[in-house]
Amino acid sequence: VTRNPLPLLLVMALVAAPAAAQSKAKPKTKPAAAAKTATPAPAKATPANATLKTVQDRRSEGHFPRFTLGIELPDIPAVDAKAARVVVMKAVDDLGTNLVPDDAAEARLEPTQRGQFGARDGKPSPPTIVFAEMKNPPRRATVLKEVSGEIELFVPSRDPNGEAKLPNFLSLSGKPAVHPALKANGVEISFLSGAQLAAERKRAEDAERAKLKKEGYTEEESVREMVDSALWSFPKGDEGEVILRVKDPKKAIQDIKAFDGEGNPVFAGNSDERGLRVLKFWNDKPGPDWSLKVEMRSDKALVRHTFVFRDIP
């Protein structure tokens, strides 16, 4: 059921106080050891400027029950929010039923549809809409007395180091990618050539063969079959595949996207296989003018807001 928009009872300013408003007092001198270990605190969640746009209340004891709120964030264009998550922290109906999902705290940043497709024909981007999922309410419930929680958006454009664009990436075969944003986020990406991939596989085969012989296997044919079985998922570097070695100790990478020579997004599989990142292009093999964009999470690129709605029919 979709109902008319309802106003949000809690409204706020989206942007934090400007740097000029911060204290200009000189910070106290810290010991050298403390300075090395200090890390910036994550951005504080601020109340959201939002409107409740839809209520999908599908009560069923059978298949596909659903209770979802569609929350519109008018200050954030949909093309800017590349990923989003909503963590419902409180949800109670007029019967006192707790509607918070059991796995609410485990919500992950998921790519948004408009954020993936980008702008359309130069038209202004509509506002971002996120969805809050809750448990199915009892049939006797008539009002959602209160729902509150936190919205987290991934907006890489807010951080100069939120994106690394790698043009003509096929020319990087056998080389590491060099970009200030990668360095700032502690990310290392190398494009493996065919020879490098073959060397990686040889090392993996030798390690597996040594392991089997140490376990007492001596028959060469049997060992070879077991090695092949153990490495069945090892990347092969087939046509239409790009093999990357990625080091991302901070888990900063949110997504790796490909674009053709005209800047149109090209969809590809993106998987980790035997410690290597594999990009698989099914429709067309990558062209020499194709580019990659690495989107990375940071405190600047993550926007966090709280929300509260009350007395929703």
* Structure confidence at residue 284 (pLDDT): 78
* Structure confidence at residue 53 (pLDDT): 93
* Structure confidence at residue 17 (pLDDT): 34
Task: Read off the pLDDT of residues 199-227 as tens digits, 9 standing for 90 and up.
Answer: 999 999 999 989 898 888 888 888 888 98
Task: Read off the pLDDT of residues 171-186 as tens digits, 9 standing for 90 and up.
Answer: 999 999 999 999 999 9
Which pTM was predicted?
0.68
How confident is residue 192, by pLDDT bands cut at 50, 70 and 90?
very high
- Per-residue pLDDT for 1 more than 50? no
Between 190 and 217, where is the model more confident?
190
By the 10 Å C-beta count (0-12 exposed, 13-18 middle, 19+ buried), 82 is classed as buried
How confident is residue 283, by pLDDT bands cut at 50, 70 and 90?
confident
Supply the mean pLDDT for the chain.
83
Residues 295 and 163: their CA atoms lie apart, in Å, by 5
* Structure confidence at residue 299 (pLDDT): 82
Share of the chain above pLDDT 90, in %: 50
